[in-house]
Structure 1
Amino acid sequence: MSRDGRFALLYSKEHQLLLWDLENNEELAQLGAQDPQSNTVSHIRIADNGRFAITATQQNFAVWDLGWTQAQGLWSISDGVIRDIDISSNGEQVLLGLSNGKAIYVDLVTGRRLEFLAHREKVNSVALSPNGRFALSGGNDYNAYLWDTQTGLALHKFEHDARINRVALQRDGKLAFTSDGSNDAFVWDLSNGERVSELKAFQRQLIFTSARFSNDGKQLVTGTPGGRVMLWDTQSGKRLDYWEVEPQKDARPPRAVVYDASFDEQQRIISGTSAGIAQAWQIETE
C-alpha cells in the first residue's frame, strides 16, 4: 500500500499484479506478470512518494513506475532467496534482505552494489529511508542494524533476545521500530540509538506482519497474522486502539493476515489483508 493509504499494488495467481485505487475503490491498471515465467510475487513495496514500487519473487525483483504503470526493469539475485525489499522515493535505489545473511543495497542507475555483511543469519526485514541514504535490517541473529548505504558502516546496533521479524523507519529518519518472534517490540531514537519505548501488548507471542509510522512519528500502526490491526503511541509504547479485520471467506478458523496498514489523510487507518479486502478504521482522537 502507498504511505497515504490511497493506492494498493496487489498480486494474485489469477490476475498477477494489479494497481488499485482504494479511495475510489476501482482497479487502475493491470501490470501483468513480474517475469516471463509468472513466478509467485511474495514481496511488494510502494515508495514513500507513491510513484515507484518494487516487487519480488524469491529470485528476482522488478521496479515499476506507477505513474506510467510499466516496469523499469527486472533484476535477478543468484546468491540467496529474497526475504524482504524496499525502494527509495526516486525509484533508483533498492534494498534487499536475503536468506544468506546479506542485506544488499543497489543503485540501479550507477550499478553500484553494496553488501552489508554484519548479519550472521537470514535477514528477515529491511527498510530504506526515502532518500536512500540509510538502511535498517533485522534478522535471525537477534540483531537489527541501522547502516549508511554510502559507506556500508553500521551506525547503530539494536539487540533482541529472539529472531527479529519486522523493522520499520519513520520517514524523516528520526525513529526506528524493531520487533521479534517472542514478545519484544521497541521504538528507537536514531539520533542516539537509545530506546524510546517498548510496545506494551500484554499477550504472548505478539508477532507483527506489518508496521508503519505515522508521518510525524507520534504513532505506529501494526498488523498481525491473526487479523488484528493495532495503533500505538510511540513515546509511551501504549496501545491506543485495535481493530479486527474481515476474515477470509470459508477460512477455518476465520481470520486473515494483515499484509499492510497505513495512515490516510482523514484520520483513518487503512488495512489490506490476505482476504483481498481493504478496510478503513477511524482513529478516535482524545
Structure 2
Amino acid sequence: KKEDVEDGGGGNRVGMKRHRTSGGWMLRERHFFHQGKVQCATIHKESSLLVVGFSSGIFGLYELPSCNNIHTLSISSQKINSVSINKSGEWLAFGSKKLGQLLVWEWQSETYVLKQQGHSQGMNCIDYSPNGSHMVSGGEDGKVKIWQCSTGFCFVTFTEHTGAVQSVKFLSKGNAVLSASLDGSVRAFDLVRYRNFRTMTTPKPTQFLSLAVDPSDEIVCAGTQDSFEIFVWSLKTGRLLEVLAGHEGPISCLSFNPIQPVLASSSWDKTVKLWDVFESKAATQTLQHNSDVLCVTYRPDGKELVSSALDGQIYIWNAIDANLLGTIEGRRDVMGGRKKSDRTKLASQASASSFSTLCYSADGKCLIAGGNTKWVCIYNISRKTCIKKFPISSNQSLDGILDQFNTRNMTEAGPLNEIDHDSEEEREDARGRKDETLPGAKRGQLTSSRKTAKAIRSTCLRFSPTGRAWAAATTEGLLIYSLDETSSFDPLDLDLDITPARIYKSLEDKEWLDAILMALRLNEASVLRSVYERVPKQDIPLLVSSIPAPYVKRMLDLVAVQASSSPHIEFHLQWAESLLLHHGAVVMQEFSTYSAPLRAMHMSFSRQMNDLSHMCNNNHYSLAFITSQAESDGQSL
C-alpha cells in the first residue's frame, strides 16, 4: 500500500512530499521560496490553495499540489505574523504584530476589502468629539488617529509629529483636533480636508506634556516637561501670546474652566495653580498638596475641580473660592495586581497607589479614575465613595494582572520570566535591531532588547459627552465601555415566509410589531403605507420602543416619505417624536448615517407648516369667530 502525504517542512521550503511505503518515508518533491523566511501559512482544502506569509512583508498564493505561484504581493514593511482564508477562499486576511496592522485582500480582483492599523507602540491620550461619535488618540509612535466609535475603525491618520504624542483635544465644534508632542510642537489638524493647518512652536526647543483649549477655541495652552512653563498661543494666527512661569516641576496636566476664562495647571511641585490667561501673567490662586500632582480637571458646570496626587488622594476643590471641599482616599481602590519584579506585596502597592488620569461624567455627579493598575474606578462625588470598579484586562501575559504568583520563579538575579531564553527567530530579530536600541529604554523605538513584560495600565480616561459610554487608553489599546447595544446586525433580512398575505394577517391579529418589521423587510410601498397607517396612535410609543436598532433608519425614511404624501400631520409627528425619543442616542452616535432621513422629514414638516400657516393667517378672523361661537354654546373643538 502506497500513499502520498504533504509535509509543510520548515525554513524556507514548503510543499515537501514524502512517499510512504510499508518500509518508511522517501522524499519525493521539494519546493523553495526566495522571498524570505516563512512566518505563517494556511491551506484552503476546498480550492487547494496555499497562502504563505514571509518575514519580508510579502505573501504568496500557491496552487496545490503543483505549488504553482498564483499571486505574490508586498503588503507590509514588517513580517507577517498570521494569515487566514475565509470559507469561500476569496478573501485573505493578514496580521502584522509589530505594526498592529490588519489587512483583508481579495486576490481575484486584487483589491483591499479592509485595511486597518492601530498604534504600533503604546497609546498615551484620547479625547471624544463633542457629539460622541468620533475619538482621537495619540501614541508613542508619533501618530494621531481619528476613530469611528460605532465601528471601531480608524479613518484618518496624521503622521506629522516626530516624537511621542502626549495630549490631544477636540475643538468644541468638532471640526479640528489639537495635539501636543515631545517633539516640541503643538499641531492643529483639519477634519474636513484632513491636513495640518497650524503648527505652534516655542522660541527654544522644549517638550510638551499637557494641552488645553479654551471653550471659545481661540486660545491654546501647552505645559512643558523641562522648562516648567505654560505657553499660550492664538489658534487663529498661531502667534505666541504669553509664557506663564511659576511652577517648579513638569506641568502634568492642564484644564480650562468651561464657564470662566480660568486655566488650572497641575505640576510635580505639589501644587495646582489657577491662571487668568486674559488678564494677568501671574497665578491668581495656588492649591497646595501633600505630594506631586498628576492630574486636574474641571466639572462640566465649572463650579468644581478635582486633582489627583501621588499619595493616592483625590482632592475636591471649590472652583470659585479655591476652598477644599473634601478628599477621596483612593489608595485602597487602586491597589491590586502584583508585578513580576515586585519582591514583596508592599512593593506592588507602592507602585500602584495613585490615579494618573481623571474625568467627570457628563452630569458631573460621577468621577472616573485610572492609573498604573488594572482597575478603573468610578466614584460618586457627593458621597465620596467608589461605586464601581472595572478590570480593564484579564490577559495574564501582561505584568500586574495577577494578585499572587509563584515565588519560586523569583531568583537572586530577578524573575525567571525575564531571563533571555528566546527562540532563534526572536534572537535574530534582536540582532537585526541591536544598533537601534538604547540601554534602559522601556518604550518607543529605542526599546532595549532585554525581555520585559508590558505592565497593564490606563494612560487616559474620557467620558462620552452623551453620558452613555466611557473610553480608556490602555496597554491593550483603546477600550470603550457603553450602556448602548452596539450590535446592529440582522441576519434574517428577507426569507420566503415574508409575504403580503402574512403581513395583513398580522395586522388582523393586531400584531403591530411583526407587521411593521415584515413590511420593512419586504419593502413594498403599498404594503408599507397600509401597515403604517393602520397602527393605532396610542400604540405608537410602545411599538417604537420595541423596534430594533437596524430598522430605525428605515422607519425614519418611511416617516419622511409618508409625511410628504399624506395629510395626517399629527399622526406623522407622533411617529417622528416617538422614534427620536426612544432611539435618539443611536441617531446621535451615527448622525452622518441618519442625516438624510432627518433632513427629508424636516423638509416635509416645514412645507406643511408653511402651507398651514399661510392658510390660517388668511382665515384668522373666521377661525376666531368659529371658536368663539363654540365656546358660547358650551362646545369644544
* Distance in 1 of aligned mates of 2:160 and 2:483: 35
In structure 2, the partner of 1:60 is 185
User: Quick check: 264-273 or 99-108, which moved more?
Assistant: 264-273
Kindly provide the amino acid, as one letter, of the partner of residue 63 in structure 1. Answer: A
Relative to structure 1, is the Cα distance of residues 273 and 247 closer, same or farther in structure 2, using a 3 angstrom cutoff?
farther
User: Quick check: 40-49 or 17-26, which moved more?
Assistant: 40-49
Is the aligned partner of 1:280 residue 2:481? yes
Alignment of 1:71-220 (within 5 A): 71-77=196-202, 78=204, 80-99=206-225, 100-110=227-237, 111-130=239-258, 133-152=261-280, 153-203=282-332, 206-220=353-367
CA-based RMSD: 2.8
How far did residue 41 of structure 1 move?
2.2
In structure 2, the partner of 1:259 is 460
* Distance in 1 of aligned mates of 2:132 and 2:234: 27
Q: Indicate conservation of the 8 Å contact 1:52/1:90, yes or no.
A: no
Which structure has greater helix proportion?
2
* Distance in 2 of aligned mates of 1:8 and 1:207: 26
Deviations 1:90-113 (A, max 9, x none): 543211111222122222325352
How far did residue 24 of structure 1 move?
2.8
Deviations 1:30-87 (A, max 9, x none): 2x2124xx33323223345544321122111101233443322122232532121122
How far did residue 256 of structure 1 move?
3.5
Kindly provide the amino acid, as one letter, of the partner of residue 479 in structure 2. Answer: A
* Distance in 2 of aligned mates of 1:34 and 1:169: 30
In structure 2, the partner of 1:234 is 381
* Distance in 2 of aligned mates of 1:13 and 1:117: 28
How far did residue 227 of structure 1 move?
2.9
Relative to structure 1, is the Cα distance of residues 207 and 49 closer, same or farther in structure 2, using a 3 angstrom cutoff?
farther
Relative to structure 1, is the Cα distance of residues 260 and 6 closer, same or farther in structure 2, using a 3 angstrom cutoff?
farther
Relative to structure 1, is the Cα distance of residues 13 and 161 closer, same or farther in structure 2, using a 3 angstrom cutoff?
closer
Where does the alignment leave 5 or more consecutive residues of structure 2 unmatched? Answer: 1-126, 333-348, 402-455, 485-637
Kindly provide the amino acid, as one letter, of the partner of residue 175 in structure 1. Answer: E
Kindly provide the amino acid, as one letter, of the partner of residue 118 in structure 1. Answer: G
Where does the alignment leave 5 or more consecutive residues of structure 1 unmatched? Answer: none
User: Quick check: 5-14 or 112-121, which moved more?
Assistant: 5-14
* Distance in 2 of aligned mates of 1:256 and 1:149: 34
Kindly provide the amino acid, as one letter, of the partner of residue 254 in structure 2. Answer: V
- Provide the aligned length of Structure 1 versus Structure 2: 280
Relative to structure 1, is the Cα distance of residues 230 and 48 closer, same or farther in structure 2, using a 3 angstrom cutoff?
farther
In structure 2, the partner of 1:246 is 393
* Distance in 2 of aligned mates of 1:262 and 1:50: 16
* Distance in 2 of aligned mates of 1:14 and 1:179: 27
Relative to structure 1, is the Cα distance of residues 266 and 23 closer, same or farther in structure 2, using a 3 angstrom cutoff?
farther
Q: Indicate conservation of the 8 Å contact 1:245/1:279, yes or no.
A: no
TM-score relative to the length of structure 2: 0.41
Which structure has greater strand proportion?
1
Match of 1:222 among 347, 369, 372: 369
Kindly provide the amino acid, as one letter, of the partner of residue 213 in structure 2. Answer: I
Q: Percent identity?
A: 13
Q: Indicate conservation of the 8 Å contact 2:142/2:181, yes or no.
A: no
Relative to structure 1, is the Cα distance of residues 39 and 81 closer, same or farther in structure 2, using a 3 angstrom cutoff?
closer
* Distance in 1 of aligned mates of 2:192 and 2:301: 24
Deviations 1:174-231 (A, max 9, x none): 1111111112211111122112221232526532232111233222111212132111
In structure 1, the partner of 2:147 is 20
Deviations 1:252-271 (A, max 9, x none): 34424342231453543332
TM-score relative to the length of structure 1: 0.85
In structure 2, the partner of 1:41 is 165
Q: Indicate conservation of the 8 Å contact 1:105/1:114, yes or no.
A: yes
Kindly provide the amino acid, as one letter, of the partner of residue 273 in structure 2. Answer: Y
* Distance in 1 of aligned mates of 2:460 and 2:205: 27
Larger gyration radius, structure 1 or structure 2: 2
* Distance in 2 of aligned mates of 1:212 and 1:90: 21
